[in-house]
DNA sequence: CTTAGATATTTATATATTTGTATAAATTGT
DNA sequence: ACAATTTATACAAATATATAAATATCTAAG
């Protein structure tokens, strides 16, 4: 597979996935979920100290853009990474940010 | 270094860097510049078929967010990656996008 | 100093995102 | 069926972003 010559659709898909990630709260969520960890909306809302509706909203954005998957289990909905590859991306941007702040 | 527990400043830095990348044109620019390649504004404007002012504008966003470096050489200004690590990120999101389109 | 090529900035309009509050929907246990 | 818990959605105000066109700045050469 050639990765250097993307179609317009692929560029737009890449951009929308990245844009979904490009928010401090959502990066914090993704760090929280690294290495296959699964968490509920409430756990994230409490762990990050954000409103419940905000947690749900941000998780919805990540789910709608193929970053996370939601799986219902009784009253709870567990969210987790859709693809392991994204761990690399989150590690990468986290390291970049740590270098530069 | 711990990468899993970022400060708010680091989260915001990571988000602003990612947001800078999160645009189809800018991902195309970054793909064009992969592996240490250097290009001028005009080269990018012609290679991508976008307006000169748009090329300059997008390159400015990438430069202001520590993704690219600009180095003037006579009349030309060469742009290139600030950090090799970003190659990994661009490869990663490109592969993700190719998988899913 | 003037010109031409290369790059950057400004401006305005349209569109999108974020945030909090309130409320609705789904599920379990009584 | 009802109450309690969990999750999702709707709304509105503030803020941010995208886009294109026009213009300005910078640099080398003459």
Per-residue pLDDT tens digits for A84-93? 999 999 999 9
Q: Is it true that domain B8-100 has CATH number 1.10.10.10?
A: yes
- pLDDT tens for each residue of B68-78: 999 999 999 99
* C-alpha to C-alpha distances, A89 to A50, B16, B87, nearest whole angstrom: 24, 15, 11
A60: left (phi over 0), alpha (psi -120 to 50) or beta: alpha
The whole-chain average pLDDT of chain A stands at 91
Residue in A12, A14, A101 closest to B13 by CB = A101
- pLDDT tens for each residue of B20-64: 999 999 999 999 999 899 999 999 999 999 999 999 999 999 999
A interface mutation test: which of B64, B68, B93, B98 has the most A CBs within 10 A?
Answer: B93
pTM of this structure: 0.91
CA of B79: nucleotide with nearest C1': C7
In chain A, the percentage of residues whose pLDDT exceeds 90 is 81
Put simply, whether A54 touches B (Cβ < 8 Å) is no
CA of A87 to C1' of C12 (A): 41
- pLDDT tens for each residue of A19-53: 999 999 999 999 999 999 999 999 999 999 999 99
Instruction: Give the angle A34-A40-A43 at the CA atoms, nearest 5°.
Output: 85
Put simply, whether A24 touches B (Cβ < 8 Å) is yes
User: Which residues on A lie below 8 Å from B95 (Cβ)?
Assistant: 1, 3, 85
Query: Which residue is it, tokens 């709260």?
Result: A25
Query: Which residue is it, tokens 């990438």?
Result: B62
pLDDT of residue B99: 82
Does A4 have pLDDT greater than 90?
Answer: no
d(CA B52, CA B58): 10
d(CA A12, CA B96): 12
């Amino acid at each position: 597979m050639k990765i250097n010559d993307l179609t317009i659709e692929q560029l737009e898909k890449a951009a929308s996935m990245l844009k979904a990630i490009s928010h401090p709260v959502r990066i914090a969520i993704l760090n929280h979920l690294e290495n296959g960890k699964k968490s509920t909306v409430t756990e994230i809302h409490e762990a990050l100290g954000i409103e419940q509706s905000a947690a749900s909203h941000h998780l919805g954005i990540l789910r709608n853009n193929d970053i996370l998957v939601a799986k219902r289990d009784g009253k709870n909905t567990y969210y987790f990474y859709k693809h392991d590859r994204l761990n690399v991306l989150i590690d990468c941007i986290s390291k970049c940010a740590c270098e530069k702040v």
